[in-house]
Amino acid sequence: MNESEFLSTTSTSTTPLPLIDNSAFQAMFPYGEESPLRKLFQIPESQKLYKQANLTAATTTTTTTTVASTRATILTPPAPITLPTLFPLMLENSFKKLFQLPQTLVKSDKVPKLMGSPTWRISHSPPVSWTYCSPSCGSGDQAVDEETALDNALNDVILAVNSACQALKLAPLNDDKVHIKYKPSSILLEEFGDFYDRYNYRYRVVRNAIRYRVKKDKPGVVEEYADEIEISFQANYMFTKAVWKSFATEMTSYLTKEKYMYVRSQPEMISHSVNNATFLLFL
């Protein structure tokens, strides 16, 4: 048989293939409700209902789109917000609500501000060493002249400032950072004798502070004597007004207990530098 005869015979052959007898296969895996394969691959009823609902929705969508092409009806639910998108948003809003100050509080003076380089004015009865008497009428611990009295006052204030720094756990300040504005007075004390100064006054000492004075023409009238001093210093410390108030209390306490200054009124902060940043202090 040549090649052409072989191809002709192959292409024109229409003999059907024998059918496979599947009776044995049916015997092993019977059809019907009790079929092991049916039970193995049976779809739960909940999934059937879910698929049926999706099929109905798809059919409805297709019909609606065909009938009214100018108006699309979307029956599928919108995509839910995923956790990576939702969680940062919730977290951000929570922190904002937690730390955000009310606008009425931000715009008011109740929000504490940071202040530095304060200056205090103190009304007081000065220690004896902060005064002098001229000419040559000094007694007790009085300084020999005005310059010495001023140095005594400055040295005592420097010690008081550093005592307050120590009480508040702050580093001490250099002497050149502390300044005072004070003019010592020439004062004639009762200890010098039965004399009066050129203004017809003489002064009385109580616990080493010059507390009272008596006028020559009114010997039975005792007047309280007070002077003023301004204390300031330059430092990098920035605190709230409440902290500076504690600082001033420690400073005047030292001057009262250790240097015998009698405080007539609480220290008044008359100037300071301001940091505009809002400061919250939780104690």
pLDDT tens column, 205-251? 999 999 999 999 998 899 999 999 999 998 888 999 999 999 999 99
Among 46-55, 59-68, 110-119, 164-173, name the most confident range: 164-173
Tokens for 116, please give them.
Answer: 């530095």
Q: Which of 167, 112, 156 is nearest to 131 (CA)?
A: 156
Tokens for 283, please give them.
Answer: 């104690």
CA–CA gap between residue 252 and residue 119 (Å, rounded): 13
Higher pLDDT, 153 or 101: 153
- Do the Cβ atoms of 184 and 150 come closer than 8 Å? yes
CA–CA gap between residue 101 and residue 207 (Å, rounded): 51
Confidence band for 280, pLDDT divided at 50, 70 and 90: very low
Tokens for 124, please give them.
Answer: 């007081």
What pTM, to 2 d.p., does this model score? 0.60
Confidence band for 57, pLDDT divided at 50, 70 and 90: low
Q: Which of 174, 177, 199 is nearest to 187 (CA)?
A: 199
Residue 43 confidence (pLDDT): 55
- Do the Cβ atoms of 237 and 143 come closer than 8 Å? no
Task: List pLDDT tens digits, range 137-156.
Answer: 888 899 999 999 999 999 99
Phi then psi for residue 227, to 5 deg, are: -135, 175
The domain ranges of the chain are: 121-233+242-269
Calculate mean pLDDT across residues 151-163: 97
CA–CA gap between residue 174 and residue 92 (Å, rounded): 47
- Do the Cβ atoms of 262 and 125 come closer than 8 Å? yes
* High-pLDDT (> 90) share of the chain, %: 47
Residue 275 confidence (pLDDT): 72
Higher pLDDT, 177 or 23: 177
Q: Is the peptide bond before 135 cis (omega within 30 degrees of 0)?
A: yes
Tokens for 57, please give them.
Answer: 């929705």
The distance of Cα 233 from the centroid of its chain, to the nearest Å, equals 26
